[in-house]
Structure 1
Amino acid sequence: MTSLQGCHNIDSLARLAQRYLPRLVWDYIEGGVDDEACLVRNRQAFDGVTLMPRYLVDVSSLTLSRSLWTQTYAMPLGIAPTGLAGFARHGADLMLARAAQQFGVPFVLSGAGTASIEAAAQAAPDQTWFQLYVSREQRITEDLVRRAAAAGVQHLVVTVDVPVHSNRERDVRNGFVPPVKPTLSAIADALCHPAWLARFAKQGLPRFESWAPYAGEGASARQIADLFTSQIPFTQTWRDLARLRELWAGKFIVKGILHADDARRAVEVGADAVWVSNHGGRVLDSAPSALSCLPAIRQAVGPQTVLLVDGGVRRGSDVIKALAMGADFVFAGRPMMYGVAAGGQAGVAQALAIFQRELSLGVAQLGGWGSATHTPVQDQGL
């Protein structure tokens, strides 16, 4: 069996993770929505971009570090928010946070995370951002924002692309949708993954820890999950976004933007950054790839607005392509989940090390960051 040390790219980490995980958890991580065409589109967008190298350039002292506002990160890649990470491995969110702290890159705790805001901020005090799902009850939203600030979090990421539930058919087939009731075939498959099963038999179901205070003292994992799913999703408006901007004193990031006009309006509301994303292909199957939307959004908001992007990132060269097309920083979600499933914190570190190595080689081959140019990716939207 392949070990972490034998994983030399993200795909090999994915294969190791798939062997460890039962199908219902693997499908949750890997799956998209409807026919999963958007998943394919995200990858095709990167595959359709080439980079032009320039040689006879001194590349002996290149750096991967990248600054965002007042903080400098070791490389222009961070860990995107991923809900229910604890189903991949108990304690996964904190493993992700600690690996981010180790490598000096940002970690974004999901609003559907299985560690609390406070615990994540303590595990990675310099790197933790918080991603917020706006609740139907304003008091919960406001308290989550207050707690994030009190924990020392300086970056609030507000996700706006989930106005309603999406049709994730893999999860439906496995019974991994609220209220969770795994099918008999999914249960039988889980029995074939004894290492994963043993951990859950010993430690129990993970909980939405940030939401535990709102479910009442002594609430079970099921009760907390029921509360979460009764509150999320909530159909936000620009008025809700403006109110959140008033509540938050730190950096305010709007995630889930694909249209240039929406990006421009988010900046007008007060966003410090726009995060170009189609939610990893998990909300609207006919949405364009995030990468293909970058040039128009960059033109709309100008050079001064920070642009972040995710969706389909699997190689260091993907990071370079996204930066060449207008992004300031890139985030990856599934690769980090492969890592944490395959080997816990060490697996996340392996994923980050793979990206770091590929980035170093790629930038040097291109002749430096300033030499990276690209062929335009076709706009896949209508």
Structure 2
Amino acid sequence: MPVITCIDDLKRIYARRTPKMFYDYAESGSYTEQTFRDNTNDFSRIRLRQRVARDLSGRVLETSMIGQKVSMPVALAPVGSTGMQCPDGEIKAARAAAAFGVPFTLSTMSICSIEDVAAASPTPFWFQIYAMRDEDFVDAIIERARAAKCSALVVTLDLQILGQRHKDLKNGLTSPPKLTLPNLINMATKPRWALGMLQTPRRSFRNVIGHVKGVKDLSNLTAWANEQFDPKLDWSKVTRIRDQWGGKFILKGVLDPDDARMAADAGADAIIVSNHGGRQLDGALSSIRALPSIVRAVGDRVEVHMDGGIRTGQDVLKAVAMGAKSTYIGRSFIYGLGAMGQAGVTKALEIIQKELDITMALCGERNIKDLGRHNLLVPKDFEGDWADQ
């Protein structure tokens, strides 16, 4: 095993051990992938202020997210099909997150079901849901999340219509995947992955199959999913879901200050500044560039979280210093999961935590709660000087 010092090391192992169609599913954006690239690249435009001759003992990374204590301002984002990146992937990621003291968010389109993860996770997790046309399904899955003692509901707002991802179409990534000759040959070169998938019974979308009338196997799933994302989603439907849930409520996919204000009006406990990892509206701003204006728009009315492009602890520090209460990692933990299973997720979290701790110290700070714009050097044009509409 090579010495692993950064998330990119995990990514290289992940690329070797995971079938190409699932690697490409994670490592892609929509259309030209401009926003996908900007999510990571824009972090490099922000510089850090080095401060010296300060007491750096007793450093504290602990903080809270929607009232829940966390070991650092990082949660695992909801990622669809995580259980295809690694057998029983959602269970392994949830266990790693619980042991590390950070939240895990289960996707509606997970391979392991809510019940599978609840039976395996030692602590409550968060559940992500899409607004769908089938309100009976939405109501039922909210009740399943409640029965599983999920401690927060995350509603994704930016998937009313699916953005086109060229790699998925070219790879035949459907439900079930198209077993073309190139795909079969590629899977045959990943024996560890293949053996694990053969050994687990969890190989389908278990939150959906068997829980929706007429969807009994993978052959029925694609048609159902394609017609379920609700193009008529509006704030009244958001508040309906909020009222049905009645617990901690997070809205994901906010990239505009006006939408942030409306999310606060809708009673969200937190909003996640997110462009769906660059997988929806290509050409939208990166999450880190959109973050400051949203923080200004909502003030202290609602917690502002952020995802998109975070690959290092320095990225976490920059996001928090720019005003985010906390952050989420998606691809970073997927790289670890595909590389080394549960141990890989733990390794990804350890890498980010160590980088965050050392960077915070070298910026002259001892407590994560003291970070702010005074720790950064931000270009004057960072947010963009756009023409009036």
Q: Does 1:360 align with 2:357?
A: yes
Residue 324 of structure 1 aligns to which amino acid in structure 2? A
1:360 Cα deviation (Å)? Answer: 1.3
1:297 Cα deviation (Å)? Answer: 0.5
1:149 Cα deviation (Å)? Answer: 1.5
Residue 12 of structure 2 aligns to which amino acid in structure 1? R
Q: 2:383 aligns with which of 372, 379, 382?
A: 379
TM-score by length of 1: 0.93
Report which stretch shifted further, 189-198 or 300-309.
189-198
The CA distance in 2 between the partners of 1:157 and 1:71, in whole Å, is 15
How do 1:338-357 residues align onto structure 2 when only pairs under 5 Å count? 338-357=335-354
Give 2:155's aligned residue: 158
TM-score by length of 2: 0.92
1:63 Cα deviation (Å)? Answer: 0.9
The CA distance in 2 between the partners of 1:63 and 1:87, in whole Å, is 36
1:358–1:184 CA distance, 2 compared to 1 (3 A): same
1:233 Cα deviation (Å)? Answer: 5.5
Give 1:285's aligned residue: 282
Deviations 1:174-198 (A, max 9, x none): 1113563244323322222222223
Secondary structure of the structure 2 residue equivalent to 1:211? coil
Deviations 1:110-153 (A, max 9, x none): 11111211232343353510000122111101111111112111
Q: 1:146 aligns with which of 140, 143, 149?
A: 143
Q: 1:184 aligns with which of 181, 186, 200?
A: 181
Which consecutive unaligned segments of at least 5 residues does structure 1 have? none
How do 1:256-335 residues align onto structure 2 when only pairs under 5 Å count? 256-335=253-332
The CA distance in 2 between the partners of 1:376 and 1:112, in whole Å, is 37
1:235 Cα deviation (Å)? Answer: 4.1
Which consecutive unaligned segments of at least 5 residues does structure 2 have? none
The answer (yes or no) to whether the contact 1:294–1:325 under 8 Å persists in 2 is yes
The CA distance in 2 between the partners of 1:204 and 1:179, in whole Å, is 15
1:25 Cα deviation (Å)? Answer: 1.1
The answer (yes or no) to whether the contact 2:78–2:105 under 8 Å persists in 1 is yes
1:298 Cα deviation (Å)? Answer: 0.7
Give the aligned length: 379
The answer (yes or no) to whether the contact 2:215–2:224 under 8 Å persists in 1 is no
The CA distance in 1 between the partners of 2:65 and 2:309, in whole Å, is 22
Q: 2:45 aligns with which of 43, 48, 51?
A: 48
The answer (yes or no) to whether the contact 1:165–1:233 under 8 Å persists in 2 is no
Report which stretch shifted further, 175-184 or 91-100.
175-184
Q: Does 1:246 align with 2:243?
A: yes
Residue 49 of structure 2 aligns to which amino acid in structure 1? M
Give 1:67's aligned residue: 64
Residue 275 of structure 1 aligns to which amino acid in structure 2? I
Q: What is the CA RMSD across the aligned residues, in angstroms? A: 2.0
1:41–1:139 CA distance, 2 compared to 1 (3 A): same
Give 1:212's aligned residue: 209
1:35–1:273 CA distance, 2 compared to 1 (3 A): same
Q: Does 1:231 align with 2:235?
A: no
Q: Does 1:255 align with 2:252?
A: yes
Secondary structure of the structure 1 residue equivalent to 2:249? strand
